[in-house]
Amino acid sequence: MWFTKVSLQNPVFATMIMLVFVVMGLFSFQRLKVDQFPNIDFPVVVVLTEYPGASPEIVESEVSKKIEEGVNAIAGINALTSRSYENQSVVVIEFQLNMDGRKAADDVREKVAGIRATLRDEVKEPRIIRFDPTSKSIWSLAVIPDTQKDAKNTNLVELTNYAEQTIKKRLENVRGVGAVNVLGGSRREINIYLRPDAMEALGVSAEQIASAVRNENQDLPVGALRSFSQERVIQVQSRVKRPEDFASIIVAKKGNTPIRLSQVDM
């Protein structure tokens, strides 16, 4: 090659050329920007929908499939997957890399808004989330008892409450922490077992009972009493204090006779 011939005939010239390349490389390396978490826009949109009290099979048929059929018509989709869990549906939409993430999220939001009318009233409003790799958690903390002996005596509900009310709040106050999410745990639940024969005899449905329990177990603001000298806020405190109080909730009325939960549960 001509460059080889020139280098052999002019060794000083070839050496100077190599030194120039080395100096330029070192200068460029010093000014090279390195980011541990680069700002990369992945056109991936996630649709989260909550359906309280529904099994994974019902969530799949009533929520996931309807959302999949609605968003499948959007142009530029590369892959469409869904996962149906208890009480929740997760639909992941992956677009082609040349798509703008914001436009893709707007298209999905528009399609989901049109699907919302076909979902049941119990289904909560779907949430549209853009996938951001920089928002993934970078530190995980497991809250467990110290020993096996403590694990047998530890109440999981109390351990979960300690993680949410104490550890979570302390970590949120640390400088630089964007968000703290608590996963897993065991929360306090009260199960109500119904008697189908009593419900049929009294003409009460399971939806009526669930609606009555949900509406009666809450504190509601009524308004305010105003006078020339003062103003008093009135609030109805109807939240259940003890599990035994659920039995007195009125779930329906037969004529002028109230039907209480104790008449239809076990």
Does residue 214 sit within a domain? Answer: yes
Does residue 184 sit within a domain? Answer: no
- Tell me how far apart the alpha carbons of residues 48 and 46 are, in angstroms, rounded to a whole number: 6
Does residue 186 sit within a domain? Answer: no
Q: Which of 131-135, 156-160, 227-231 has the lowest mean pLDDT?
A: 131-135
pLDDT at 153: 63
Those residues with Cβ within 8 angstroms of residue 132's Cβ, 6 or more apart along the chain or in another chain: 42
Does residue 148 sit within a domain? Answer: yes
Residue 165 CB neighbour total at 10 angstroms: 10
Q: Counting every residue, how long is the chain?
A: 266
Assess contact for 130 and 113: CB atoms under 8 A. no
pTM equals 0.51
Does residue 23 sit within a domain? Answer: yes
Together in a domain, 2 and 49: no
Together in a domain, 213 and 259: yes
Radius of gyration of the CA atoms of the chain, in A: 31
CB environment 198-222: b (16+ within 10 A), e (fewer):
ebeeeebeeeebbebbeebeeeeee
The tokens for 152 are 């047998």
User: Each residue of 104-154: pLDDT tens digit?
Assistant: 889 999 999 988 888 888 888 999 988 766 666 677 888 877 766 555 566
Q: Which of 30-34, 123-127, 185-189, 206-210 has the lowest mean pLDDT?
A: 185-189
Its domain, for residue 103, covers: 44-133
Assess contact for 238 and 216: CB atoms under 8 A. yes
Sheet holding 88-95, edge to edge: 77-85, 88-95, 44-50, 127-130
Together in a domain, 57 and 97: yes
Query: Left, alpha or beta for 72 (phi > 0: left; psi -120 to 50: alpha)?
Result: alpha
* pLDDT higher than threshold 70 for residue 37: no
Those residues with Cβ within 8 angstroms of residue 125's Cβ, 6 or more apart along the chain or in another chain: 116
User: Each residue of 162-191: pLDDT tens digit?
Assistant: 888 888 889 888 887 877 888 777 777 778
pLDDT at 257: 85
Q: Which of 124-133, 144-153, 209-218, 249-258 has the lowest mean pLDDT?
A: 144-153
Last residue of a domain, one of 145, 179, 213: 179
The tokens for 253 are 């009325």
Number of structural domains found in the chain: 4
Round the average pLDDT of the chain to a whole number and report it: 82
